[in-house]
Amino acid sequence: MRKSILRFSITLCLVSSISAQTAGGTLLGFTSGRADDQRAAEAKFDSYLKAENLSAWLKRLSARPHHLGSAYDKDNAEFIAAQFKSWGYDTQIESFDVLFPTPKTRVVEMTAPEKFTLRLNEPALKEDATSGQQDEQLPTYNAYSIDGDVTGPLVYVNYGRPVDYEILEQAGIDLKGKIAISRYGGSWRGIKPKVAAEHGMIGCIIYSDPRDDGYFQGDVYPKGAYRNENGVQRGSVMDMPTYPGDPLTKGIGALKGAPRIDAKSAPTLTKIPVLPISYGDALPLLKNMDGAVVPDAWKGALPITYHTGNKTPTVHMKLEFNWDIKPIYDVIAKMPGSERPNEWIIRGNHHDGWVNGADDPLSGQVAMMEEARGIAELAKTGWRPKRTIVYCAWDAEEEGLIGSTEWVETHAAELSQKAAVYINTDSNGRGFLGMAGSHTLEKFINEVAKDVPDPETKMSVWDRLRATQIVNGTPAQRNEAMSRSDLRIGALGSGSDYTPFLQHLGIASMNLGFGGEDGGGSYHSIYDSYDHFQRFVDPGNVYGVAMAKVGGRAVMRLANADTLPFDFGDFADTVGQYVGEVTHLADTMREDTRVLDQQITSGMWKAVQDPTETNIVPKVKDPVPYLNFAPLQNALAKLQDSVRNYQRVSAGKQPSPAQQAALDEVLYKTERALTRSEGLPRRDWFRHQIYAPGFYTGYGVKTVPGVREAIEQRDWREAAEQIMIVSRTIENFAAEIDKAAKMF
Binding span for a copy of itself by CB under 8 A among 36-44, 212-220, 270-278, 580-588:
212-220
Based on CB atoms, which residue is closest to a copy of itself, 280 or 552? 280
> Please, what is the minimum distance in Å from the beta carbon of residue 118 to a copy of itself?
19
CB 511 within 8 A of CB 425: yes
Which region among 182-190, 297-305, 524-532, 708-716 touches a copy of itself (by CB under 8 A)? Answer: 297-305
**Binding span for a copy of itself by CB under 8 A among 67-75, 108-116, 351-359, 602-610:** 602-610
Please choose, from the candidates 314, 265, 318, the residue with its C-alpha nearest in 3D space to the C-alpha of residue 147: 318
Beta bridge partners of 334: 90, 390
Is the CB of residue 511 less than 8 Å from the CB of residue 550? no
In the complex with a copy of itself, which residue's Cβ is closer, 411 or 478?
Answer: 478
Q: What 3-state DSSP class applies to 341?
A: strand
**By the rule CB under 8 A, 220 interacts with a copy of itself:** yes
Under the criterion CB under 8 A, does residue 617 sit at the interface with a copy of itself? no
Among 159, 215, 444, 527, binds a copy of itself (CB under 8 A): 215
Which residue's CB is nearer to a copy of itself, number 84 or number 432? 432
Least distance from C-beta 162 to a copy of itself, angstroms? 22
Binding mask 324-353 for a copy of itself (x = CB under 8 A): ------------------------------
Angle, vertex CA 181, rays to CA 176 and CA 186, nearest 5: 110
CB of 463 to a copy of itself, least distance (A): 7
Q: Which stretch binds a copy of itself (CB under 8 A): 128-136, 458-466, 577-585, 735-743?
A: 458-466
Residue closer to a copy of itself, measured from CB, 60 or 478:
478
Instruction: Compute the distance between CA of residue 194 and CA of residue 698 in angstroms, rounded to an integer.
Output: 11
- Out of 258, 301, 379, 589, which residue is the one contacting a copy of itself (CB under 8 A)? 301
Residue 607 binds a copy of itself, judged by CB under 8 A: yes
Q: Does 612 help bind a copy of itself (rule: CB under 8 A)?
A: yes
Asked whether position 605 contacts a copy of itself by CB under 8 A, the answer is: yes
Rounded Cα gap, residues 50 and 113, in angstroms = 59
- Does the footprint of a copy of itself cover residue 213 (CB under 8 A)? no
Q: Which of 210, 515, 552, 565 binds a copy of itself (CB under 8 A)?
A: 210
Q: Is 383 in the site for a copy of itself (CB under 8 A)?
A: no
Closest to 311 measured CA to CA, from 292, 284, 283, 294: 292
Eight-class DSSP state of 187: S
Q: Which of 427, 424, 502 has its CA nearest to residue 671?
A: 502
- In whole angstroms, the minimum distance from the beta carbon of 595 to a copy of itself comes to 8
3-state DSSP of 193-217 = HHHHHHCCCCEEEEECCCCCCCCCC
| Residue 102, C-beta contacts closer than 8 angstroms, at least 6 positions apart | 69, 138, 139, 141, 143, 321, 322, 324
Shortest reach from residue 517's CB to a copy of itself, in Å: 5
Query: Rule CB under 8 A: is residue 618 a binding residue for a copy of itself?
Result: no
Q: How far is CA 596 from the centre of its chain?
A: 35
- Each residue 495-524 as x (binds a copy of itself by CB under 8 A) or -, in order, gives ----------------------x-------
- CA 316 to CA 200: how far, in whole Å? 17
Tell me the sheet residues that pair with 156: 181
Q: Which is nearer to a copy of itself, 199 or 466 (CB)?
A: 466
Q: Does 602 bind a copy of itself (CB under 8 A)?
A: yes
The yes or no reply on residue 16 touching a copy of itself (CB under 8 A) is yes
Using CB under 8 A, pick the residue from 431, 521, 693, 706 that binds a copy of itself. 431
Contact 271, 150 (CB under 8 A): no
Quick count: other Cβ atoms within 10 Å of Cβ 135? 7
| 419-424 and 508-516 beta bridge pairing | parallel
Q: Residues in contact with a copy of itself, total (CB under 8 A)?
A: 46
Q: How far is the CB of 378 from a copy of itself (least distance, A)?
A: 31
Residue 618, preceding bond cis, omega within 30 degrees? no
Residues of span 86-105 touching a copy of itself by CB under 8 A: none
What is the spatial distance between Cα 624 and Cα 588, in angstroms, rounded to a whole number? 9
- Least spacing, CB of residue 659 vs a copy of itself, in Å: 44
* Annotated catalytic residue within 371, 397, 398, 736: 397
Tell me whether residue 273 or residue 429 sits nearer to a copy of itself (CB atom). 429
Q: Which helix (H) or strand (E) holds 364?
A: helix 364-380
Q: How far is the C-alpha of 691 from the C-alpha of 563, rounded, in Å?
A: 25
Out of 218, 341, 631, 655, which residue is the one contacting a copy of itself (CB under 8 A)?
218
470 lies in the binding site for a copy of itself (CB under 8 A): yes
CA 250 from chain centre, in angstroms, equals: 20
Q: Does 527 bind a copy of itself (CB under 8 A)?
A: no
Residue 185 to residues 143, 159, 481, Cα–Cα distance (Å): 18, 6, 29
Nearest to 653 by CA among 3, 220, 31: 31
Burial class (CB within 10 angstroms; exposed 0-12, middle 13-18, buried 19+) of 715: middle
Binding status of residue 457 toward a copy of itself by CB under 8 A:
yes
Smallest gap from Cβ 412 to a copy of itself, in A, equals: 43
- According to CB under 8 A, which one of 188, 226, 527, 733 is a site residue for a copy of itself? 226
> Is 537 among the residues that bind a copy of itself (CB under 8 A)?
no
Residue 397 annotated to the active site: yes
Q: Select from 13-21, 319-327, 344-352, 735-743 the region that touches a copy of itself (CB under 8 A).
A: 13-21
Query: Which of 343, 480 has the CB closer to a copy of itself?
Result: 480
321 φ, ψ to 5°?
Answer: -125, 155
Q: What is the dihedral of CA 650, 656, 662, 665, to 10 degrees?
A: 50
Nearer to a copy of itself, 595 or 649 (CB): 595
297 binds a copy of itself (CB under 8 A): no
- DSSP annotation string for 491-516: PP-SSSTHHIIIIIT--EEEEEEEEE
Interface with a copy of itself, residue 464, by CB under 8 A: yes
Per DSSP bridges, beta strands 431-437 and 419-424 are unpaired
> In this complex, which beta carbon is closest to a copy of itself, that of residue 47 or of residue 601?
601
| Residue 643 C-beta: closest distance to a copy of itself, Å | 32
Residue 467 engages a copy of itself in binding (rule: CB under 8 A) = yes
Alpha-helical (H) ranges within 564-696 are 569-601, 604-607, 630-650, 657-668
Region near a copy of itself per CB under 8 A, out of 57-65, 398-406, 415-423, 462-470: 462-470
Residues in CB range of 84: below 8 A, 6 or more apart: 91, 331, 333, 369, 372, 391
Q: Which of residues 539-598 bind a copy of itself (CB under 8 A)?
A: 595, 598
Min CB(485)–a copy of itself separation in Å: 18
* Residue 665 interacts with a copy of itself (CB under 8 A): yes or no: no
Q: Does 428 bind a copy of itself (CB under 8 A)?
A: no
Give 151's strand partners: 316
- Per residue, the 3-state secondary structure of 674-730, as one string, reads HECCCCECCECCCCECCEEECCCCCCCEEECHHHHHHHHCCCHHHHHHHHHHHHHHH
Q: What are the residues binding a copy of itself (CB under 8 A)? A: 16-18, 210, 215-220, 224, 226, 293, 299, 301-305, 431-432, 456-457, 459, 463-464, 467-468, 470-472, 478, 517, 595, 598-599, 601-605, 607-608, 610-612
Active site residues: 397
